[in-house]
Amino acid sequence: MKWTEPIKVNSHDTDYNGVLRASGVLKYMQEAANMQLHELGPSNDELMEQGQTFFLSRIGFLTYEPIAAYEELRAQSWAGKSRGFSFNRFYRIYRGDIVVAEGVSVWALLDMNTHHPLRVDSYHANFEIDETLALDLPAHFRMPKPTEEMERVGSYTVLYDDLDKNMHMNNTRYPDMLLSTQDMRGKYAQSLVINYVNEAPLGEVLSIYSCCDGDTLYLKSVRRDGKTNAEAQLKLKDL
């Protein structure tokens, strides 16, 4: 079943262009998902009491039209058919009856004591699954260049305000961290896919790299230990 949340776009979630940031798109989509879990259960807090927690593996979205401050929209989310260790969840944002953004994500349910993933059939939600949403987004992508051949465009230190309840940087913080290294004036994120590879704990200093391949921008964050933190594929569109 689909869960729908009304949204009034917060002006503080928009950028210089007056357009909703990529992080805002993710926040509004995931808030609809969080509300479904909160209202129908099991909630994220209830899962943590059971020693379990969801970790985001991959998320991507398409924005069909730029979204402005103060718009009244609807965010929708639902669980899709899943198998093995991968939990699929889908999203839409509506302006009236018009779909202005859609998203897909893959999550893992982890045992907090062993850090091992749990199978889909071990999770019992109080809501039914719904349709599978097929979007023109890569299920997997490869960085076109190795890290040493990419341009280092910035760094980021993980602070307290970035943290989620697992004491790692919240996944919705990543678009701001990565895209803040780019000049977005006159442009907005038409599509964004992020692969979350390794967590970024409090105090971690991430180095950010980028490179272009045609009209596609690739971004990567790397931890001090040399391990990749996240990889992103971004396509921009002129306003």
107-134 tens-digit pLDDT: 999 999 998 999 999 899 999 999 999 9
Q: What are the CA-CA distances from residue 101 to residues 35, 38, 155, 190 (Å)?
A: 19, 23, 29, 9
Percentage, residues of the chain above pLDDT 90? 95
CATH number at residue 189: 3.10.129.10
Residue 14 pLDDT exceeds 90: yes
Whether residues 126 and 147 fall in one domain: no
The DSSP code for 131 is P
Whether residues 192 and 222 fall in one domain: yes
**Boundary-marking domain end, from 95, 120, 137:** 137
Whether residues 88 and 1 fall in one domain: yes
Distance between CA atoms of residues 135 and 227, nearest Å: 29
Whether residues 104 and 68 fall in one domain: yes
Which amino acid, 161?
D
Dihedral, CA atoms, 86, 76, 102, 126, nearest 10 degrees?
Answer: 10
Supply the pTM of this predicted model.
0.95
Whether residues 86 and 108 fall in one domain: yes
Whether residues 157 and 86 fall in one domain: no
Distance between CA atoms of residues 139 and 102, nearest Å: 15
Whether residues 116 and 176 fall in one domain: no
Whether residues 102 and 151 fall in one domain: no
Residue 238 pLDDT exceeds 90: yes
pLDDT in tens, 75-109: 999 999 999 999 999 999 999 999 999 999 999 99
Residue 29 pLDDT exceeds 90: yes
Q: How many structural domains are present in the chain?
A: 2
**Boundary-marking domain end, from 119, 137, 155:** 137
Average pLDDT in the chain: 96
State the pLDDT at residue 140: 86
